[in-house]
Amino acid sequence: MPDGLIRRAVRAGRRLMACAAFAALGPAWGGVALPFDVVEAAPGLFVHTGRHEETSQANRGDIANVGFIVGERCVAVIDTGGSLAIGQALAAAVRRATDRPVCYVINTHMHPDHVFGNAAFAGGAARFVGAASLPEALAARAAHYEAGLAEALGDAAAGSRIVAPDLLVDDRLRLDLGGRALVLQRWPTAHTNNDLTVFDEASGTLWLGDLLFDERIPSVDGSIKGWIAVGARLREQAVSRVIPGHGRIAPPWPAALDAQSRYLQQVAASVRAALAAGKTLRETVDAANPADADGWLLADAYHRRNVTAAYAELEWE
């Protein structure tokens, strides 16, 4: 088939798909009350804990940890949840906690469960902040992510959209919330190629995003070798508490990180052993057992995929 035709067909198909999703819209979802709790993990630092589930109509993409930090002048939101509805619930939680405006919306990385609530904060004065590699990563995936969300949420996906960052972090960036400074650090490719952490100097809290998974199985969408290496550097950070992208608020540190690193190292070791034995990708993935991901939630859905990603990366060693 000629390429031009194919691309036109794909584009038209996407448009039709989007139309179908929106045409079916019934009453707005805004009227449905969401159970959406935030916990003040440190003074002025609020966290909402996402569920350990796949995105569904029932949870509306409320599967990642999101939150906000309140300064004397304004508020920084950190990640926005997996749909507009979750972003709106988070915005309401901000308003309950303070009357100061949101001046920054920080995305720790590109994944849908962390960014699809951005639209709830768009159109105002807030700047959207992300790693310098985030815009390109989002641009390449937006259509794919939006189609996936429409499939998972149906009507409840309406209004959720990718909002790209307009303030980029090359390496390190200091944000002032008025008497409260946040230090944003970009990391080499690990969980993704656009991981960003947020350090709140006032409370000594390091917000790790998905550089740390607690309870829920880590998913490799960047580089398993890179993630292990970044983990070793994170371990050296002097912090009083951490917030993972998934799991408990302020899990034991560095024990939670060590558990994650053990899992990643175990996956890498098993894949290297398979490569050394001349095993193919198929043989290696078939031999991988989610039971090997001992104690991690959702291992059935992600362990073999992690092995696949690790194989594709490590076969080039």
Partner 1 sequence: MRHLLQWLLACCVAGSGAVFAAPDDAEANAVWRQLRTGLFGERAIAAADADTLVLEAPARAEDAAIVPIAVRSRLDPTAARRVQTVWLIVDGNPSPVAATLHFGPASGRADVETRLRIEQYGFVRAIAELDDGSLHMATRFVKASGGCSAPAGKDPAAAAANLGRMRLKVEDMGGALRRAQLMISHPNTSGLAMDQLTRLYPKPHFVRQVTVRYRGQPVLVAEVDFSISENPSFRFLFRGDGEGELEAVVVDTEDRTFQTRVPVAARADGG
For strand 45-48 and strand 39-42, is the pairing parallel, antiparallel, or unpaired? Answer: antiparallel
Does the CA dihedral 138-139-141-143 come out positive or negative? positive
User: Which of 111/216 has CB closer to Zn ion?
Assistant: 111
Q: Interface with Zn ion includes 195 (CB under 5 A)?
A: no
Instruction: List, in sequence order, every beta strand (DSSP E) within 49-108.
Output: 66-70, 75-78, 102-106
Q: Which does 210 bind (CB under 5 to 8 A by kind): Zn ion, partner 1, none?
A: Zn ion
User: Which of 34/164 has CB closer to partner 1?
Assistant: 164
Rounded distance between C-alpha atoms, residue 109 and residue 201, angstroms: 21
For strand 181-186 and strand 172-176, is the pairing parallel, antiparallel, or unpaired? Answer: antiparallel
* Size of residue set near partner 1 by CB under 8 A: 52
Q: Interface with Zn ion includes 62 (CB under 5 A)?
A: no
Q: Which does 218 bind (CB under 5 to 8 A by kind): partner 1, Zn ion, none?
A: none
Residue 155 CB coordination number (10 Å): 15
3-state percent helix, strand, coil for the chain, nearest multiple of 5: 40, 20, 40
User: Which of 92/285 has CB closer to partner 1?
Assistant: 285
Min. distance of Cβ 5 from Zn ion in angstroms?
Answer: 35
* Size of residue set near Zn ion by CB under 5 A: 2
Which value, in Å, is the radius of gyration of the alpha carbons in the chain? 20
Helix H segments across the chain? Answer: 3-23, 84-97, 112-115, 134-153, 224-235, 255-276, 281-287, 299-314
Helix (H, G, I), strand (E, B) or coil at 200: strand
User: Which of 71/245 has CB closer to partner 1?
Assistant: 245
Per-residue binding string, Zn ion, 132-171, x by CB under 5 A, is ----------------------------------------
Q: Which of 79, 195, 210, 214 binds Zn ion (CB under 5 A)?
A: 210
Min. distance of Cβ 311 from Zn ion in angstroms?
Answer: 20
First to last CA, the chain: 37
Window 139-168: residues binding partner 1 (CB under 8 A) = 139-144, 147-148, 150-151, 162, 164
Q: Which does 37 bind (CB under 5 to 8 A by kind): partner 1, Zn ion, none?
A: none
Rounded distance between C-alpha atoms, residue 227 and residue 213, angstroms: 12
Q: Interface with Zn ion includes 111 (CB under 5 A)?
A: yes
Q: Interface with Zn ion includes 214 (CB under 5 A)?
A: no
Q: Which does 241 bind (CB under 5 to 8 A by kind): Zn ion, partner 1, none?
A: none
Min. distance of Cβ 304 from partner 1 in angstroms?
Answer: 4
Min. distance of Cβ 154 from partner 1 in angstroms?
Answer: 8
Q: Which does 309 bind (CB under 5 to 8 A by kind): partner 1, Zn ion, none?
A: partner 1
Residue 62, Ramachandran bin (φ over 0: left; ψ between -120 and 50: alpha; else beta): beta
Q: What's phi and psi for 218, nearest 5 deg?
A: -60, 150
Tokens of 50: 């996402």
Instruction: Give the binding site for partner 1 (CB under 8 A).
Output: 1, 3, 5-7, 9-14, 16-17, 20-21, 133, 135-144, 147-148, 150-151, 162, 164, 189, 192-193, 221-223, 278, 280-282, 285-286, 304-305, 307-309, 312, 315-316
Instruction: Give the binding site for Zn ion (CB under 5 A).
Output: 111, 210
